[in-house]
Chains A and B, each alone.
Chain A
Amino acid sequence: MTSPPTFLGMPPFPEAARSAVSNPQLRHNLRKATHTIRDKRAHVVGELSDWAELRAAGAAIKDRTLRRLDEYLLAAEAAVAAAGGTVHWAADAAEANRIVADLVRATGETEVVKVKSMVTQEIGLNEALAAEGIRAYETDLAELIVQLGDDLPSHILVPAIHRNRAEIREIFVREMAEWGVPAPPGLSDEPAALAEAARRHLRERFLSAKVAVSGANFLVAETGTLVVVESEGNGRMCLTLPETLISVVGIEKVVPTWADLEVFLQLLPRSSTGERMNPYTSMWTGVTPGDGPRDFHLVLLDNGRTDVLADTTGRQALRCIRCSACLNVCPVYERTGGHAYGSVYPGPIGAILVPQLRGVATGKVDPQTASLPYASSLCGACYEVCPVAIDIPEVLVHLREQVVEGGGHRAERAAMRAAEWVFDDAKRLRTVQRVAARSRRLLPRRAPGPGAAWSDSRALPEVPAQSFRDWWVRERGAPPARPPAAPAQPPVEKNRIEEDDR
């Protein structure tokens, strides 16, 4: 087994972005994928005349939950326990990994099957289990492609978006035998044939698995019900067939009541895959004798979330339901792909969530993390599509402030490179500006709520409409210098930037 992939040691965003942008295959795949999904999304969102009301309700339910999070967590714990589940609390990644490893070891098993889960990637669970002699098998098709290819996920919804069919075929032919049932002889690169190969590869594993690990999309405090939405049925396999199920769930996944699901089960599938409903949604409450696992463990994870909660501007990032709509509309993501963000959470949500989870407010984050709030032109398209109305540009500006306050010269350099990257290509710039012009009027002129104090004191003209360059000029008094490392780049089109950003 090759050593598990890791995001640690990634170069800062601008450098990673530059290498991604120069890969034409990657850019083609990304463009096709993001445009396809966003067109589908627009179509099904358009079917619901009350989308604005649903979106407002989604945001309000999450805010309501976050503002009394301790109470809702205790209610969820009690309900899960009453239904026969066992609840564990993990302050950080290491503790969550240890809890899961101990639970697996207690079953006597050395293998687990996994449902696609962002949070277990966030904590590096597979690697931690491997260190304990436990092999974790990813079962989502895209995650399987990523795992077999010893690769990293690059999109929340379609983690192997950067791979084309020929590459996937090659990975299957080369690696499947090493992990279990080999690829069938003469495997073609037709998606149906590749999916069939994955079905056969995993079938035996599902039928014999004793332990499964999942995340969850929602945890209902009132009833203790967990919800997993998926497409392929691998989730159902993992949630239903094994004897022991361990679900690792971030503390922000709680919703107060059963009825609240009526909002999120409309918002999520339409925002995410652009479908009216995803093929399968599983809901379970504790254990049901004779149906599904006989042991259910819920691991509630903090891992930096309480730090996010403490930031009155940044806490709105905890509303996120991981639909990935913001990735698909982001002009920066479309060009760089997910890997450039150096985290399991790429795109606009990654740019605001990851720095906060890693403690940007303390001023002690690595240059990669410090560069993330600059991985944006502040065009506002992400806010517009977000089903829970997270004002991502507002949080980005807020985090840039924190970076500059805490960061010193490393952060400055990262910012400079981001500026160069975002603005050094005329075509790229035009796209960014077009999107910006369309969405600017939807954004608040003044940061609402507690963030207002900051924007007032700095006499910001129009917070989200401001480009990086404006920000830089205001903070530093002169346009960012171009680093000598990139002499071949065309000069910045200075006048156009200023004209459009006024």
Chain B
Amino acid sequence: MSSRAAILARVRRALADVPSDDDFPVARDYARAHVAEGVLELFVAHLRDYRAVVHEVAEDALPDAVAAAVERRGARTVVTPAGLPPAWTAGLAEGVCLADGWAYEQLYDNSINNRPTVADRADRADILTTSTLDTADGVLTAAAVGIAETGTIVLDAGPGQGRRALTLVPDWHLCVMRAADVVASVPQALERLDPGRPLTWISGPSATSDIELDRVEGVHGPRTLEVLIVR
């Protein structure tokens, strides 16, 4: 007997006391959200709690805000994922942007049964290598969803977010979050997300408390998370 069959048989034997039409109920009487007002303010407060750098900007001031952030950081090369609105980087000097051509949208039509066989990253000249990413000073991305109650930014490989390595290898992550994409709670965020996509939930910069429980920011992920919130 294969281990698959053996394990399944053992599971069924172990559950001999459970009726075959068992439908164990789950009461869903927990809250869909814990706050209704001041969602954006809470989001900002929780991000700052994690020692992320947060700025709130108007839409038309975004290019200047991006340029100012890049200058403050002293970044000379910034990774920009496919699908990033060109206006966002309009204030940057020539040669600063390192464009990465990988786009989830071109690979899938969001149907799990329609998975294409696609040329891998090694075959694509417009995709940055990991060692190039490692030399970049930072990465600029959009975001899919923000969660106020937990101070979380979720990336879902959508336009302007790119593949997961982009926001992992460079030491500085500058993230543009639209106020309209900030929800109150984890349940509300999951409703908006597509599980078929690779998802990264980010709550502050990389951190560890492994040494005497002293919190240290920045171990392997970006050590600085900077968020531009567009009202």
Contacts and interface: CB of A to CB of B under 8 A. Distances in A.
A69 B15 contact: yes
Interface stretch (A194-202, A334-342, A471-479): A194-202
Contact of A278 (B107, B168, B203): B203
Contact of B221 (A50, A95, A279, A286): A279
Contacts of A442: none
B9 to A, nearest CB: 9
A82 interface: yes
Given A47-B34, A199-B219, A290-B107, A164 B212 contact: yes
Nearest to B32: A262
B165 interface: yes
Given A262-B187, A276-B150, A290-B107, A165 B212 contact: yes
B187 to A, nearest CB: 4
Interface of B (DSSP majority class) = loop
B36 to A, nearest CB: 13
B127 A302 contact: no
A186 B168 CA distance: 29
Nearest to B223: A199
Contacts of A284: 198-199
Given A49-B34, A262-B190, A232 B221 contact: yes
Contacts of B12: 70
Which interface residue of B14, B116, B157, B222 has the most chain A CB atoms within 10 A? B14
Interface of A (DSSP majority class) = helix
Given A47-B34, A259-B190, A70 B11 contact: yes
A145 B208 CA distance: 13
A83 B115 contact: yes
Interface string B190-229: 1100011111111111111111111010111110000000
Contact of A258 (B49, B190, B211): B190
B124 interface: yes
Contacts of B6: 91
A73 B191 CA distance: 24
Contacts of A164: 212
A242 to B, nearest CB: 10
Interface string A209-221: 0000000000010
A123 B12 CA distance: 24
A102 B121 CA distance: 26
Interface of A: 29, 32-33, 36-37, 47-50, 53-54, 56-57, 60-61, 63-64, 67-70, 73-74, 82-84, 89-91, 95, 139-142, 145, 158-160, 164-165, 168, 191-192, 194-195, 198-199, 202-203, 206-207, 220, 223, 225, 231-234, 236-237, 239-241, 251, 258-259, 261-263, 265-266, 269, 273, 275-286, 288-292, 294, 300, 302, 306-307, 309-310, 312, 315, 450
15 contacts: A48-B34, A50-B30, A53-B31, A67-B22, A70-B12, A158-B209, A232-B208, A233-B206, A239-B164, A276-B46, A282-B198, A282-B201, A288-B198, A290-B121, A292-B198
